[in-house]
Amino acid sequence: MVKIAPSILAADFGCLRDEIIKLEKAKADLIHFDVMDGHFVPNITFGPMILENLKKYSNLLFDVHLMVNNPTKFIPWYAKAGADIITFHLEASDNPIEDINLIKQYGIKAGISIKPNTEISAILPFIDDIDLILIMSVEPGFGGQKFDNNALSRIDYLRKSIKNKNIIIEVDGGINNETAKLCRDANVDILVAGTAVFKSDNYEKSIKELKGETL
């Protein structure tokens, strides 16, 4: 069954601790942290201290998506702060294998993400080394964008390419009940959802609906 990783980029930053606690009660599977540096993408979010502080209030896996230049510098910060998965962008890495190995040195899962316009085949040289592939279904940098349906053919390409390899496929961007079904039908493993969860009055109901369930 698909897992839901609410992105706290869409949460109320004035009460992040309460938001984290609510997500766990609502049966979220992971918590997604979009880390932005204002260079790789035109937005800035939060540093590792936020993760470290929030880790005290949740037993959920912390799924960190680095949208930053020079991910090699950032990886140790977020690994030490409590990340369980760290994903970096192929477009931002000078040496992807070194970055993958650096993440794994901390005993956590390593992922690679690509932008919508990056050739999907560019990720194939690394499929023997990574645990997760994050397909961006919007241009990274801001929440609330419309889902790019081209992501579905990219997911299909990856499914056929990785075959029986134990690689998680995650999709991020424009996820709502309609696009979640399209991704579920494409056999995605994790859906990252921001506004679809946090703009709801009932987090548990929203998460179940994204999974194709009902309360």
- Domains along the chain? 3-210 (3.20.20.70)
Helices (H), 163-191: 177-185
189 in catalytic set: no
Cβ neighbours of 201 (radius 10 Å): 6
Q: Which of 37, 63, 99, 172 is catalytic?
A: 172
pLDDT of residue 192: 97
* Mean of all residue pLDDT scores within the chain: 94
Q: Which of 34, 99, 131, 148 is catalytic?
A: 34
Judge whether 135 and 169 are in contact, CB under 8 Å: yes
Burial class from Cβ neighbours inside 10 Å (0-12, 13-18, 19+) for residue 84 reads middle
Sole residue written with tokens 């134990």: 166
Could you tell me the pLDDT band of residue 163, with boundaries at 50, 70 and 90? confident
172 in catalytic set: yes
